[in-house]
Amino acid sequence: MAIRNIREIGEEILTKKCKEVTEMTDRTRYLIEDMLDTMYEANGVGLAAPQVGVLKRIVVIDVTGEEPYILINPRIVETGGEQTGSEGCLSVPGKAGIVTRPNYVKVAAQDVDMKPFELEGTELLARAICHELDHLDGHLYVEKVEGELTDVMAIQPEEE
Ligand code: ZN
């Protein structure tokens, strides 16, 4: 278990498309453990593998601080509604901006044993899922911000 260095906006790796995970290996298990440690250490609600410099389709999300979701090869299969609110990113420290996202998403993914499962989320969880999945295709929320980025002390995404 280890804290990994979080890559920041401007680094090319954050603009690349990640590769599918085809098998679970010890190396990938360690990566996932490190991603969880790194997310909690940074007080984030989500982290995608490219943010720690690994171009694999893996995200970790925990919007409550006690229920981490590990999503491998995730894809959104259903969306509904709309929410507009403040969003931040561990790769864009000290900033926040207003982004509109679906208020409901259903995501199909694989777990650490590569077993398929589905996860539904609303509000902050839906926002976090959309935000983290964007990272896997090389996109940052700043591309979607309505208006200007603002300076913030805390960098946790907030609900409206
Ligand atoms: Zn992010």
**In tens digits, what is the pLDDT along the chain, a chain of 160 residues?**
799 999 999 999 999 999 999 999 999 999 999 999 999 999 999 999 999 999 999 999 999 988 899 999 999 999 999 999 999 999 999 999 999 999 999 999 999 999 999 999 999 999 999 999 999 999 999 999 999 999 987 545 555 5
What number of residues does the chain have?
160
- pLDDT at position 56 is 98
CB 99 within 8 A of CB 145: yes
- pLDDT at position 59 is 98
Active site residues: 132
Q: Is residue 36 within a helix (H) or strand (E), and if so which, with residue range? A: helix 26-41
CA 154 / ligand 1 centre spacing (Å):
14
- pLDDT at position 153 is 72
CA 134 / ligand 1 centre spacing (Å):
8
Tokens of 131: 């935000």
CA 86 / ligand 1 centre spacing (Å):
13
Distance CA 115, CA 17 (A): 23
CA 135 / ligand 1 centre spacing (Å):
7
- pLDDT at position 158 is 54
Residue 132 has φ and ψ, to the nearest 5°, of -70, -40
Q: Where would I find the beta strands (DSSP E) of the chain?
A: 46-48, 58-61, 69-80, 83-87, 95-101, 104-110, 116-122, 146-151
CA 27 / ligand 1 centre spacing (Å):
23
CA 140 / ligand 1 centre spacing (Å):
6
- pLDDT at position 156 is 55
- pLDDT at position 5 is 97
Distance CA 113, CA 46 (A): 20
The dihedral region occupied by 147, where left means phi > 0, alpha psi between -120 and 50, and beta the remainder, is left
